[in-house]
Structure 1
């Protein structure tokens, strides 16, 4: 007896917004040093594994995306002592 099963196609690739593939501008705040960097260009790789950013005149930074623990659109972090 032959079983007819539909093959499941697993897509592990998330849909990455085009703005993050091309590069989008954000501000960053580092909790450890309480430093703020303005107008950093952020990009991610095509698979969404790594987040790259660079502030003008500084070296670029890279994070493995699973280590990012706080992202907030349009708001400051609650523990941030910096005020715009």
Structure 2
């Protein structure tokens, strides 16, 4: 059958599309049962759909590579806090809707063994549902799992810009951490810029590769 096409062409793959709501961010509460901690955060996704990241009240930002996300859950399949103290900290009684329907559980795994969960709670059920649907769509996008060279460089750049220091600059330690497998090339790139390390332009780093 000469007219037959491989399935990947029939899928008409589209790049990730991040909604304005996810780009602008929403207010969530991040909770950890093991540590008995509750932290108000702003949850966001970068415009390219590479990372889920959250910023706390101290302007500290953590991020998660969306290609590591295996599932995003709300409703009965989510993990809800069992500890009474933690439930009290979440102030469950003052929020609208059933607890499990406001939960967003992000399941991550780097392999079949190392599976973990991140737990967030939204203020409304519809908000939790929307975030679950859109995050899972971004995490399962086939193009995100098969980046070309330019997209890989862009992803590295986006990661660095999401965690600046208090002065708004990219810490050199983050560059070394990101490219830890090729430290010598990083050192050569930094030296070739002939600038103080705190002001190293990332584009210069990329072009010297």
Normalised by the length of structure 2, the TM-score is 0.30
Q: Is the 8 Å Cα contact of residues 34 and 80 (structure 1) preserved in structure 2?
A: no
What does 1:1-84 align with in structure 2 at a 5 Å threshold? Answer: 8=10, 9-13=12-16, 15-38=17-40, 40-65=41-66, 66-67=68-69, 71-72=73-74, 77-81=79-83, 82-83=86-87, 84=91
Q: Secondary structure at the match of 1:48?
A: coil
Q: Is the 8 Å Cα contact of residues 23 and 41 (structure 1) preserved in structure 2?
A: yes
Distance in 2 separating the partners of 1:19 and 1:62 = 17
Unaligned runs of 5+ in 2: 92-209
Q: Secondary structure at the match of 2:22?
A: helix
Normalised by the length of structure 1, the TM-score is 0.64
In 2 relative to 1, CA 32–50 (structure 1 residues): closer, same or farther, beyond 3 Å? farther
1:25-72, CA deviations, whole angstroms, 9 ceiling, x for partnerless residues?
11101244231102x111101232211111112511111122475554
Unaligned runs of 5+ in 1: none
Moved over 6 A (4+): none
Distance in 1 separating the partners of 2:71 and 2:34 = 14
In 2 relative to 1, CA 79–72 (structure 1 residues): closer, same or farther, beyond 3 Å? same
In 2 relative to 1, CA 58–35 (structure 1 residues): closer, same or farther, beyond 3 Å? farther
The structure with the largest alpha-carbon Rg is 2
Q: Which has the higher strand share?
A: 1
Q: Which has the higher helix share?
A: 2
How much is the aligned-residue C-alpha RMSD, in angstroms? 3.2
- Answer 1 or 2: higher relative contact order, Cα 8 Å, separation at least 6: 1
